[in-house]
Amino acid sequence: VFQIVLGYLDSKCLKHMTGNHSQLMDFVSKFLGTVRFGNDHIARIMGYGDYYLENVTISRVYYVEGLGHNLFSVGQFCDADLEVAFRKNTFFIRNLEANAAHKNMTVLQMDVKMTFLNGELKEEDTVISLTAYEDADHAGCQDTRRSTSGSAHFLGDKIVRWSFKKQKCTAISSTEAEYIALSGCCAQIIWMRSQLTDYGFQFNKIPLYCDNKSAIALCCNNV
């Protein structure tokens, strides 16, 4: 029996905020605490409501008094079936069901808290697997026509890494875009395996799932 310490980041970006409560439908005035930004400024969360972006509804958006920008989390846009692509200090939102929502919004970095979970892990009856999923959006950027690589890594049934990043080069086909995303995801798997080896975990096979048969065939070609 050995002990392992796990940590995770509790990001304040989970609180979806706007600086103008008139944009929030069904606004409810309620003090919900404070939030600290990356520049050490502290603001009060004064309530919440539903925010409408064209034909998409983003529920329970928090209103922060004095906030100069609208601030939402990427996860909530994805839950609303919106595609998000990053470019320098801005990101673009595209509606997958229609062609209405293509907006520029400022990205603000927020302060995070570190929470530690301490517990015992029994080696003889605990099985932990490392699994990865990969996907690519070919020519998804409307400005540069570059593709976007997306990946998710699970340790057991818990997600430990999520990535959504624009590729550095322009892919001429969906197969090439998927292959580039696969290579980046594989490199991350190798790094994670080396780090977990220091904690006594051994992985003989790590499944990496891809939904493009052409990219899988290209990976199997050693020429």
Q: Which of 1-5, 107-111, 136-140 has the highest mean pLDDT?
A: 136-140
The CATH number of the domain where 26 resides is what?
2.40.70
Q: For residues 184 and 19, which has the higher predicted lDDT (pLDDT)?
A: 184
In a domain, 122, yes or no: no
Measured in residues, the chain has a length of: 223
- The 10s digit of each residue's pLDDT in 127-167 is 678 999 999 989 888 888 899 999 999 988 888 888 888 99
Cα 90 from Cα 139, distance rounded (Å): 18
Residues 99 and 141 in one domain: no
Torsion, Cα 176 182 188 190, to 10 degrees, reads: -120
Task: Give the distance from CA 147 to its chain's centroid.
Answer: 17
Q: Which residues contact 38 (CB under 8 A, 6 or more apart)?
A: 108, 109, 110, 111
Parallel, antiparallel, or unpaired for β 24-29 and 42-53?
antiparallel
Residue corresponding to tokens 């539903």: 50
Q: For residues 40 and 139, which has the higher predicted lDDT (pLDDT)?
A: 139
User: What does the pLDDT read at residue 16?
Assistant: 65
Whole-model pTM? 0.44
The tokens describing 146, both together, are 């570059």
Residues 104 and 132 in one domain: no
Task: From 84, 113, 142, give the residue that closes a domain.
Answer: 113
What is the DSSP annotation of 70-132?
-B--HHHHHHTTEEEEEETTEEEEEESSSS--EEEEE---B-EEEEEEEEEE-TTT----EEE
Number of structural domains (the chain) is 2
The tokens describing 79, both together, are 């839950």
User: What does the pLDDT read at residue 208?
Assistant: 92
Q: Is the pLDDT of residue 97 over 50?
A: no
pLDDT band per the 50, 70, 90 thresholds, residue 108? very low
Residues 7 and 108 in one domain: yes
Kindly state the helix (H) or strand (E) to which residue 152 belongs, with its residue range: strand 148-155
Q: What would the mean pLDDT of 163-181 be, rounded to a whole number?
A: 91
| Residue 136 · residue 209 · CB < 8 Å | no
Q: Is the pLDDT of residue 80 over 50?
A: yes
